[in-house]
Amino acid sequence: MRVAYCQGTSPPRINTTPHISFHPLLPMAWSPFLLLSLVSLAFSTPLNRRWDDFVEKHSWGATIPKGWQFHSSPSPDTLIDLRLGLKSARIDELFHHLGQTSDPDHERYGNHLSKEQVEELVAPHTDTVSMVEEWLAHHGYQGSAASPAGDWVTIRLPVKDAERMLNAEYGLYHHPASKDTVLRTLSYSLPRDLLGHVDVVSPTTYFGTFKSMRATSFLMPEVDLDPDAVPPTTCNTRITPDCLKTLYNTANYTQQATNRNSLGVAGYLNEFANRADLQTFLTRFVPARAGTTFTTVRVNGGGDDQNDPGVEANLDIQYTIGLSAPVPNTYYSTGGSPPFKPDSQTSTNTNEPYLDWLNFITSQSSIPLVFTTSYGDDEQTVPPDYANSVCNLFAQLGSRGSSVLFSSGDFGVGGGDCRTNDGQNRVQFQPAFPASCPFVTTVGGTTRTNPEVAVDFSGGGFSNYFGRPDYQSTAVTTFLNALGTTNNGLFNKTGRAYPDLAAQGTGFQVIIGGSTSSVGGTSASSPTVAGIIALLNDVRLSSGRSSLGFLNPLIYKNGGAFNDITSGSNPGCGTNGFTARTGWDPVTGLGTPDFAKLRLVV
């Protein structure tokens, strides 16, 4: 499956101080219900703040993001849901805890935080709450908490008020390739007094939607082979669960803690996992698990049309279940793009994919121990403030004991002309987001067997937003030293490097509408690794330990537990890209998983 794939800071260095304490903050003042005040006279502010003293937060300048075109101006009375991401008072403490609980050499390893502890750390300071309340009251509004911690706040208001509050000009923009139309602005600002209190506002300058990120299915031609051949004889061109179990050494493992285990697949608009197709798949390829099913959870109006099977949705759920059953699997169908109606009483498409799903997941009292997701954007198309806020939400999931995996993308070091959108129009490798977030585990692709080699579309590179985290410093420095001056000037040598791991990415046999299709892409690689991580969680859970949680510190300290991929490359941007080599590389990461070795180190 092809996927289209802040100015942030690198995660803090791990502090090994063992003593941990939590200091509860004062209760948040946000109303539990959405309130629209009909105050006609603005409240006076005690310090006579100048709410019209604006500082630009983010701007694309006069250039509309690539792939989008201006459609029309909205009615001034069009209602939108404005979402404010408030600065967390103790986010550095969250990073500190995550660093310790994910480090296998630390005494707190595996001692994940509870939902309530995470919420204490990400809650805004009372001064931030007061400041934002004051600003909203000045304009006649009161916010509604959009997250349990109060770090996200929602206000429903007319476009004309949002424009006044953000010194912005909204427009309706159309994406011809996906036929999606959204309400966005090319720039927005905040009052100077709010700087340091509000991290991001949406919808503003992030143009991504589920539709615009999704590319056409990466369907591969069928190859006429003996269907009765024993794996891995046919696995060079046709991947089945048996191929993957043989390649990655899971075939003889018997699970013991499935009642405490779980795996989640993040789906998106109009991609529905089909139950009948799953049964056909299991009957044909995993007969011992025939009858196994999954739960669908609808997020933000997501659908579940069983008459419209999705290629990617079926790929994901068939292979996570094919590898991890009987681990309970959940498919999250996230909606959020209502039909475009230029009606002043109808909210237009103000939804944004990561926030809709993440705000829902972080609010749940119980969440899956592994997540896999197969979509993304070019990093440069995501505003830095937005990318940083979303990345921090992934850190919350890791802190609670969940492993978050993302496909690395299907365009090597970059697709298209690879021109920068900073006004300089330079050719530069194009990293992907969220693949570049340091709090997720990113999975690249391989092909063939005996040996596996890097597949040429495997996304990989170096972030321009996020600095290199400590956990990969040694591995990446070793690669860069060996690379020398190759590709100089085309990538950020100090950025977070990805992918972290890899797995097969071509020839996956998927049942779609009752028929078998061959599907490829790193969208196949990520669910494959997710299924294996679920088995590793079973190893830990069955011995009374916790789930693995954030994986990266563990895997970079145990590179020998992976099958090192040393050939192949990921060309793009008019270059040969990077080449796989001994050790970590930005094509296949540390390599593909060897369950037999990994179960000894987890």
Query: Are the C-beta atoms of 397 and 404 separated by less than 8 Å?
Result: yes
Q: Which residues, at least 6 apart from 365, have a Cβ–Cβ distance to it below 8 Å?
A: 115
Q: Name the DSSP class of 378.
A: E
| 3 state SS for 225-252 | CCCCCCCCCCCCCCECHHHHHHHCCCCC
Q: Which residues, at least 6 apart from 331, have a Cβ–Cβ distance to it below 8 Å?
A: 264, 265, 267, 273, 294, 295, 296, 297, 313, 316, 317
**Residue of 93, 161, 199, 312 marked active site:** 312
Q: Name the DSSP class of 434.
A: T
One-letter amino acid at 341 equals: K
Q: Tell me which residue of 200, 176, 182, 360 sits closest to 267, measured CA to CA.
A: 360
Question: Nearest 5°: CA angle at 383, between 382 and 385?
Answer: 130
212 annotated active-site:
no
Q: Which residues, at least 6 apart from 5, have a Cβ–Cβ distance to it below 8 Å?
A: 213, 375, 376, 377, 378, 408, 409, 410, 411, 432, 433, 435, 459
**Residue of 88, 202, 523, 569 marked active site:** 523
Q: Is 583 annotated among the ligand-binding residues?
A: yes
C-alpha–C-alpha distance, residues 389 and 354, integer Å: 10
Measured in degrees and rounded to the nearest 5, phi and psi for residue 588 equal: -125, 10
Q: Tell me which residue of 266, 570, 567, 590 sits closest to 410, measured CA to CA.
A: 570
C-alpha–C-alpha distance, residues 35 and 153, integer Å: 12
How are beta strands 295-299 and 329-334 bridged, if at all?
parallel
Question: Nearest 5°: CA angle at 310, between 304 and 314?
Answer: 95
C-alpha–C-alpha distance, residues 551 and 92, integer Å: 19
End-to-end CA distance of the chain: 30
**Residue of 316, 379, 410, 452 marked active site:** 316
Sign of CA dihedral 37, 43, 46, 52: positive
C-alpha–C-alpha distance, residues 500 and 444, integer Å: 8
Q: Is 564 annotated among the ligand-binding residues?
A: yes
Tell me the residue ranges of DSSP E strands in 24-151: 54-59, 69-72, 79-86, 144-145
Residue 79 bridge partners (DSSP): 158
Query: Are the C-beta atoms of 522 and 458 separated by less than 8 Å?
Result: yes
Query: Are the C-beta atoms of 8 and 118 separated by less than 8 Å?
Result: no
Q: Is 565 annotated among the ligand-binding residues?
A: yes
Question: How many beta carbons lie within 10 A of that of residue 417, not counting itself?
Answer: 11
312 annotated active-site:
yes
356 annotated active-site:
no
Q: Which helix (H) or strand (E) holds 322?
A: helix 311-324
Q: Is 585 annotated among the ligand-binding residues?
A: yes
DSSP helix/strand/coil, 171? strand
Catalytic residue positions? 312, 316, 523
Which residue positions form the known binding site for Ca(2+)?
A: 564-565, 583, 585
Which residue positions form the known binding site?
A: 564-565, 583, 585
